Amino acid sequence: MYRTLRLCASGGGFEALPETPRTVDLKRVRAALEAARVPVIDARVMLIATLEVEVTISRAGRLLFKTADPAAADRAFAWLRPLLG
């Protein structure tokens, strides 16, 4: 579903894009995050979750990890990936 992380256009974080167009079930992801006691803000068309770094999860599947540290982004990505299906 997702291949890899890359630096986002403005250079302030790392993003992961789905390989094929998809729609993420944000309600299900939110429930999974909350079950794991991850603080999450539900802005209807996106979730903002506080993992090791803050991550935005859009309905279209784009993930944005707000950190300049690639290793931290990688760890958060690895943690989040199974929840997204």
Partner 1 sequence: MLMSGGIDSPVAMHYLLRQGHELLAVHMDNRPFTDDSPLAKVVDHLALLRERYHQPIPLYVVPHGTTQVTLMRETDRHVGCVLCRRFMWRSAERVAEREGATFLVTGEALGQVASQTLSNMRTATASVHLPIVRPLIGLDKQEIEAVAKSIGTYEISTRPGVCCQAVPDRPATRSNLVQILREEERLDVDQIIDDCVRKAVLL
Q: Is 1 in the site for partner 1 (CB under 8 A)?
A: no
- In the complex, least distance from residue 1 CB atom to partner 1, rounded to whole angstroms: 20
Q: What gap in Å lies between CA 14 and CA 52, rounded to an integer?
A: 14
Instruction: State which of residues 11, 20, 21, 82 lies at the interface with partner 1 (CB under 8 A).
Output: 11
Q: Which is nearest to 58 in space by CA: 4, 8, 1, 17?
A: 17
Please give the residues from 33 up to 52 whose contact with partner 1 meets the rule CB under 8 A.
Answer: 41-46, 48
- Looking at the DSSP assignment, which residues form a beta bridge with residue 50? 54
Cα end-to-end distance, the chain, whole Å: 8
Beta strand pairing call for 46-50 and 54-58: antiparallel
66 binds partner 1 (CB under 8 A): yes
| Binding status of residue 85 toward partner 1 by CB under 8 A | no
Site residues for partner 1 per CB under 8 A: 8-13, 41-46, 48, 54, 56, 58, 64, 66, 68
